[in-house]
């Protein structure tokens, strides 16, 4: 049965459904109410143009050229020139997934009906999205305050048949790609070029994918930590619900509950119930406090982002009741710049504490396990260098976590004199999260190796399932092998949909 189109209203996108739409290549269409709002807004713009009113970006130039009046006969040239001149991006191309999400978010913003564009333009964007075309968008060039001007201009190039785009991983000139999909390039009318490029959609797209992945990482950190705790024969007492409730941060309570569920029924834990160990190192004992604080940060960032992706972010905005065009700054990326820096800092902490658990697993004097988890240590180096890799990634994240949002460089001859740098902070957050994926993969690899030495004792309900799921395809390392390949295999496995499902089928739903 064919999947129904997702109806775009301008107000109904979330992190989850946005990622799902792009991930599953779901088709979209405009809701009836959005179509009506777009039509009403456009009629008003055309009425003002007929009166020859002075409206920024419609009958004037842009930025520092705000005072230059443009005649009606040059309207189309003005909008086309805007896209061409602002397509000044450089650097690596933005990942395909992010570009598709940028287009989705741009459509959703226009669907609110405050941008004054023709319905024809928005329908054109919907056809592009549904066709699977992917504009080639360089990642560098936005200062994140008149929106993501350069990246969105490269996105808009494809709309008018300029620039390049991708079909099935092959790059074509946009006019050729559009022809292959039976789409005719559109000639932009008054306000439309500006409406396409004033907005925060690049920042939003990077952040949406990052927050989605960070939510998974926050649960995965609890899973990795539970494996490490059992491999190191740590105590579960610090995860007591009673303890958490006297410091009732939501994330802390959730993380402690996850750990209790994952480790419930652990034979390893029972085997050392009466040992002399008073308490564990912070990287084990304080998992609820650290992992939980990250969960709370992710939740905060998600709330801000979901407001943003359902907002009108171009300039000027058109209001029909009462009739008014308002020039403002809804394109300024400050809300996103701040949360992108916050998200990067928070998620990097999951990597930092994970690397410390990995280091303990490999240090025989701390773990009580074979040094570097090696059979025949000396002849074999075991997983010694896996920790080096984790340490290198943690150190790289420290550099990436320097906030971009505290910087500002004026542009447009000081007309745009405070910029958010949110595009930079959102790209950095994306990189940090990808690094943490690798760090956690290394911990899981090492923790599983550690648990091997404690067999036949079994881990808890959820952690044992994680161990078994991994061991179906990644076996105990009995002799030195290509460690990189082992790490990459583990990373692939722990990010499979089936991995989390298998664990939760035993432990119960994780928060």
Question: Going by C-beta distance under 8 Å and a sequence separation of 6 or more, which residues neighbour residue 7?
Answer: 28, 29, 30, 31
Judge contact between 288 and 225, C-beta under 8 A.
no
State phi, psi for 313 to the nearest 5 degrees: -125, 15
Out of 56, 164, 216, 388, the active site residue is 56
Calpha distance 262→124 (Å, rounded): 49
One-character DSSP codes across 351-383:
HHHHHHHHHHHH-HHHHSSPGGG-TTBTTB-TT
216 is catalytic: no
Calpha distance 302→443 (Å, rounded): 27
**Tell me, what DSSP letter sits at residue 3?**
P
Calpha distance 24→2 (Å, rounded): 13
Dihedral sign (CA 124, 129, 133, 134)? positive
Calpha distance 355→10 (Å, rounded): 42
At 41, which helix (H) or strand (E)? helix 32-50
CA angle 144, 297, 429 (to 5 degrees): 40
Q: Describe the chain by its helix, strand, coil percentages, rounded to 5.
A: 60, 5, 35
Which amino acids are annotated catalytic?
A: 56
């Amino acid at each position: 049965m064919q999947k129904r189109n997702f109806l775009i209203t301008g107000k109904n996108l979330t992190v989850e459904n946005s990622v799902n739409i792009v991930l599953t290549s779901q088709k979209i269409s405009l809701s009836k109410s959005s179509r009506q709002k777009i039509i009403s807004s456009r009629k008003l713009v055309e009425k003002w143009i007929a009166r020859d009113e002075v409206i920024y970006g419609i009958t004037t130039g842009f930025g520092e050229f705000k005072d230059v009046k443009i005649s009606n006969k040059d309207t189309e040239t003005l909008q086309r020139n805007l896209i061409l001149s602002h397509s000044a991006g450089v650097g690596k191309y933005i990942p395909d997934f992010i570009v598709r999400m940028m287009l989705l978010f741009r459509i959703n913003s226009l669907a609110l009906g405050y941008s004054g564009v023709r319905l024809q333009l928005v329908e054109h964007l919907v056809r592009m999205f549904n066709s699977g075309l992917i504009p080639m968008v360089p990642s560098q060039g936005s200062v994140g305050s008149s929106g993501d001007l350069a990246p969105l201009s490269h996105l808009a190039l494809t709309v008018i048949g300029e620039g390049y785009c991708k079909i099935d991983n092959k790059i074509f000139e946009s006019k050729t790609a559009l022809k292959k999909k039976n789409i005719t390039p559109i000639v932009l009318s008054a306000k439309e070029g500006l409406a396409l490029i004033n907005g925060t959609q690049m920042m939003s797209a990077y952040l949406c994918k990052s927050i989605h992945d960070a939510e998974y990482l926050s649960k995965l950190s609890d899973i990795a930590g539970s494996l490490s705790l059992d491999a190191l024969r740590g105590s579960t007492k610090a995860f007591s619900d009673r303890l958490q409730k006297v410091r009732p941060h939501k994330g802390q309570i959730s993380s402690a509950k996850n750990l209790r569920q994952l480790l419930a029924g652990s034979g390893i834990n029972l085997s050392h119930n009466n040992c002399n160990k008073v308490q564990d190192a912070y990287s084990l004992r304080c998992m609820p406090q650290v992992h939980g604080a990250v969960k709370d940060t992710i939740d905060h960032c998600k709330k801000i982002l979901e407001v943003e992706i359902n907002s009108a972010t171009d300039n000027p905005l058109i209001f029909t009741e009462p009739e008014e065009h308002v020039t403002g700054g809804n394109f300024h990326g400050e809300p996103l710049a701040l949360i992108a820096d916050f998200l990067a800092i928070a998620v990097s902490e999951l990597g930092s504490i994970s690397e410390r658990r990995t280091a303990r697993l490999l240090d025989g004097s701390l773990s009580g396990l074979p040094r570097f988890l090696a059979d025949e240590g000396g002849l074999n180096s075991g997983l010694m260098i896996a920790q080096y890799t984790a340490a290198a990634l943690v150190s790289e994240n420290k550099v990436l976590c320097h906030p971009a949002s505290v910087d500002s460089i004026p542009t447009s001859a000081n007309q745009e004199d405070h910029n958010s740098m949110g595009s930079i902070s959102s790209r950095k957050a994306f990189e940090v999260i990808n690094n943490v994926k690798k760090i956690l993969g290394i911990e899981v690899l090492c923790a599983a190796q550690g648990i091997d030495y404690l067999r036949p004792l079994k881990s808890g309900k959820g952690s044992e399932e994680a161990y078994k799921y991994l061991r179906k395809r990644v076996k105990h390392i009995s002799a030195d092998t290509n460690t990189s390949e082992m790490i990459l295999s583990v990373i692939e496995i722990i990010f499979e949909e089936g991995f989390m499902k298998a664990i939760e089928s035993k432990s119960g739903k994780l928060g």
